[in-house]
Chain A
Amino acid sequence: MSKFVRQHKQAWASLKKKPGFILTVLMTMGITLGALLCAVTLNYLLLVEPLPYPEQDRLFVAEHKLIGPEKETKAVAYTYPGLVHLYKSKQAFEQAAMMIYGQDVIISHSNQPLVNTTYVTPEFHQIIASPMAVGRMFEASEAIDTNNPVTMLSYNTWQQEYNGSADILDEKINLSGISYRVIGVLSEDFIEPELNGIGQETQVWLPWDYNQTGEGGRESFGNISNSLKFVGQLNKGVSQSQAQQLLTPLVSDRWQEGVVEIDFFNGWSVSMIVRPVKDVILGDSESIAVMLLAGVVGLVLIACANISNLFMSRTAEKQRQMAIQAALGATKKHLFKTMFAETTILMFMSIILALVISKVGFYIMQQYLGAVLPRVSELSLNPITFGCAVLVAITFALFFAKLSTRMINYRALNTTLQSSGKGSGLQVSKKTRQVLIASQVALATVLVFANFSLLKDAVKTINAPIGFETENISTLILNFSSTNFPTREEGIPIMAEIMEKLEALPQVESISQSRSPLDGFGVRALTSVADNKNYTPYFNNVSHTYFDMIEQPLVQGDNFTLVDRKDGTDVMIVNQAFAKQLKADGDVIGMQISTGRPDPFKIIGIVRDIAIPGDAATDHNSEALGSGVPRAYVPNGLNNQSFMIKVKPGQLVSREQLGKLLGDVDSRYAVFSFDAASDILTQRLFAEITTAVTTAILASLVFLLAGIGLYGILSYGTQLRRFELGARMAIGATRKHLVSLIIGDNTKAILVGFIGSIALFALAYIGMSEYIQPLLTWQVIPMLLVTLVLIVLVTLFACYWPLRQYINKPAIFTLRGSD
């Protein structure tokens, strides 16, 4: 038997006698190192790992930035003809693709599912070399202006909607009345570059020609849309800035020509921005990843302090055994090796658990964080994870072994043998204990404070009043599944019948023929007629019952009437924020507002502001107005194809039920989407909710670990002092005396810990000021106080709890040292 194996066998035999010790080390290190491996893998993926596409460093997105007269950015979005012009010019890029993101209903499918669609030119999949599961990808036969109705499905759509059918290539699918032949299914391994936002995966790919932009939109240089994208492979040797310089005049000149007749755009210009695809995909997620890593490293350090204490106490316990070994001729090195064998076994067990936990962590991130973090679908246990795991295991094993053996006073070991073995002897020194306490307190304070700050912001956003009702309200949006759209006159009676049938449903309380504020607003360029000033408020076409249904109060003037909608009266309602923007005193009733059409709108009413999470002010000068962003409302037509349905409390209407209702009225109509307003609100708050949950979990973990750690250290210290405590009790020290004695003795360490936390903050501030700066306001002071109070409470608990077994019993127990 080799020496190595023997040593480890012996170590295991010795460890086996302490299952509690093994379990504590395993759980603490396993869980925290699991989190560490997760965070490291995520950071590697986001910060280092190249995108999984050929020549990914040549992949760039070109963005169309509209600049206002005061050189301010108005929007980063294309106009349809501008994009086509850029595409056809074939400048700077070796190969490039146009794409439009959208949503549609597969009406040929029995479930009529709503799917994410992307209309692309064939270069897109060629550039990123998309792997196929079956069939082929788009080719020259699907290039622009070929009008070839074929489609590619995502792997998941094939599996979920078509049960992975083997003859999917014989299938035809119908969207908006057009029948597309399936020519291919993307491979399970295909990783879509999510250019339209994190977690937005395309389910059905369609040729560019079939995008849903109307005839007018295809010509208009005045309509902008941020679902239009341009991505390509830059020419070899062309730099990012060269490409920008080349493209800007090309696009800007054409745009100026296109808008020469629209006064609104006087003084505006276009500048092209060329950005690496990687930057676009990652967005600002890197900072989240780095913060996560920092948090987890803190957690690992706390765990490490806990385990250090355990190992040191164990050494103290084992001193007699080591003394015997020393008497038999073991050198210091021998003792270290024995210890190292133990720590190696424990650390490798922990790291195996950690790998399992990180695998679970990846799964959780993929299930729940797909909408917050990019590229999570690529997370897996890779060589980096394994390398990191081995490195961490060895480092910690060495560290703990070194720490344990360092406290052995080799020369004094024999005296252990001569003395009775009780009482004096090897102990974790008071100084070491104080250092451990201080570092626990410092780390816990920093982590808890950081988590609390993030948690507070998230909770504040989640709990912020939105100013309108979402309870029991859902929005039904209709899908029209034919290519010849009904005229206004044709549509009105159909919609009236649908409304009537909806109202007749027993579950339904009321119907309003408009979308809910959560899926209703666009942005519109408006001009005030009196002074010719331009504004870009959020804009919505609403029914006369809209404000009543969502309980958004009218503060001044009148509501729309049914007649306004029937006759298309040019009236407008604005919110308080927009009223203030239009006129300082907010008294805007009667003001004339132009949308560019000959007849301006007249403002007839003012409604209270609402706050939709995620809706930022659309132009820079409205931020000064505080919480409310400017909004304007005009009456919609009676042919409007969306409805808010308010059900009676506790009642439900199903998508299937609505589909059947629509089919009965007119078979060309189907359900596009039917979503509860409260669900949409939750989705909008998803990032905040995720943050809240994550930070709350992290903070509790920190408390738990720090609590366990402080308890371990303090209870060890108290145990060492039990005879002293007994003596004090014998001469009349009360419980209060003893508790304050222990607290008093640890106060210094705790204070040092708090000061240390401030030093850590300062370090973090210097190192990551860009992330931390925005967090630093006076509001952190109460947060800091709450953190301090909580840490103090945990510490007090850790002081008192180990003590209670001594002080609540007759003094003799403590004095005798028996239990």
Chain B
Amino acid sequence: MTIPIIKVQQLSKVFATNDMLTHALQGIDLEIQQGEYISISGPSGCGKSTLLSIMGLLDFPTKGKLYFEGVDISQLSLDQATAIRNKKIGFIFQQFNLIDDLSVYENIALPLRYATHLVNDKQIKEKVDYCLDVVGMSSKAKRRPTQLSGGQQQCIAIARALVAEPSILLVDEPTGNLDSKSSDQIMKTLEALNNQGTTLCVVTHDIDYAEMAKRKIYLLDGQVLGQTSLDY
């Protein structure tokens, strides 16, 4: 059996605010294999984003284990976690999180500039151009993010998530800020990426989009309420 990209065991997350404890996640077990397309859905506040950020090493669990490509995350320093995030994980957020001061091209190139192994400018250009092409935004390379529509910005965010050739794309409400036409477009792009082999984990509360995934996980109050069986 191959090593799963992400393996989560009895994972819990508790937030302490003003004398109040919020159990955002309670005993989650989950495995994500190479090439999968998973959707996570559930009502607002059920812990989707929390789970995603823990799986993306943006946050750490209160209890339980997380293995990324077999490595126990609890053993890593902040900087080691950052390095994994840079190399192996692509993030796509609801609010795009592009950097306004940088051009579209530079936004996409950013993960490569932070890479631990040096990538030269020529390689960067090749990769950025390729990713721009994938999302169909080649003509917008010189623009600023603020000069693009929401849908276009999200495409750029996808390109940025792809550029370092990550093992997995973690996507949180990619269409939350978009109209239905742009949303369809984005979801199609993501699906196409999965068809070409990219592992995808998408958080959404849009039933239709959730249905597009090959495996569907449903969360309620921080627990896995149910999931469709593995196809293979």
Which residues of A come within 8 Å of B, CB atoms?
Answer: 723-724, 726-735, 737, 808, 810-813, 815
Contacts and interface: CB of A to CB of B under 8 A. Distances in A.
30 contacts: A723-B97, A724-B100, A726-B97, A727-B93, A729-B58, A730-B58, A730-B85, A730-B97, A731-B86, A731-B91, A731-B110, A731-B111, A731-B114, A731-B160, A732-B87, A733-B82, A733-B86, A734-B82, A734-B86, A735-B79, A735-B82, A811-B53, A811-B58, A811-B59, A811-B82, A812-B58, A813-B59, A815-B58, A815-B93, A815-B97
A732 B79 CA distance: 9
A737 B83 CA distance: 12
A735 B91 contact: no
B115 interface: yes
Nearest to B60: A810
A716 B124 CA distance: 33
Nearest to A731: B111
A812 B53 contact: yes
B111 A732 contact: yes
Contact of B56 (A727, A730, A808): A730
B163 to A, nearest CB: 9
Given A728-B110, A732-B115, A815-B97, A810 B82 contact: no
Contacts of B71: none
Interface in B30-81: 53, 56-60, 78-79
Given A734-B114, A737-B114, A727 B99 contact: yes
Contact of A734 (B58, B79, B100): B79
A727 B98 contact: yes
B59 A812 contact: yes
Instruction: List the 10 closest A-B pairs by CB distance, nearest first.
Output: A732-B86, A727-B97, A812-B59, A812-B58, A811-B58, A810-B59, A731-B111, A812-B53, A732-B114, A733-B114
A729 B161 CA distance: 13
A731 B58 contact: no
Nearest to B52: A812
Contacts of B59: 810-813
Given A810-B58, A811-B58, A811-B59, A732 B97 contact: no
B5 interface: no
A732 B60 contact: no
Contacts, number: 70
Nearest to B96: A727
Contacts of B101: 724
Contacts of B87: 732
Contacts of B60: 810
A732 B163 CA distance: 12
Is chain A's interface secondary structure helix, strand, loop, or mixed overall?
helix
B164 interface: yes
Contacts of A734: 79, 82-83, 86, 114
A815 B52 CA distance: 13
Contacts of B93: 727, 730, 815
B75 to A, nearest CB: 15
Contacts of A733: 82, 86, 110, 114
A810 B81 CA distance: 9
Nearest to A734: B82
Contacts of A808: 78
Nearest to A723: B97
A813 B53 CA distance: 10
A727 B111 CA distance: 11
Given A723-B97, A734-B86, A811-B58, 14 more contacts: A724-B100, A727-B97, A730-B91, A730-B93, A731-B85, A731-B110, A732-B82, A732-B83, A733-B86, A735-B79, A808-B78, A810-B78, A811-B57, A811-B82
A727 B161 CA distance: 11
Contacts of B114: 728, 731-734, 737
Nearest to B15: A818
A809 to B, nearest CB: 8
Query: Which of A727, A735, A815 is most buried by chain B, counting CB atoms within 10 A of its CB?
Result: A727
A808 B101 CA distance: 24
Contacts of A727: 93, 97-99
A492 B35 CA distance: 114
A734 B111 CA distance: 11
A731 B86 CA distance: 5
A726 B82 CA distance: 12
Nearest to A810: B59
A730 B91 CA distance: 7
A730 B98 CA distance: 11
B164 A732 contact: yes
Residue from B85, B87, B100 having most chain A Cβ neighbours under 10 A: B85
A724 B99 contact: yes
Q: Which of B57, B58, B91 has the most CB of A within 10 A?
A: B58
A815 B170 CA distance: 15
Q: Which of B60, B97, B98, B111 has the most CB of A within 10 A?
A: B97
Contacts of A813: 59
Interface in B95-124: 97-101, 110-111, 114-115
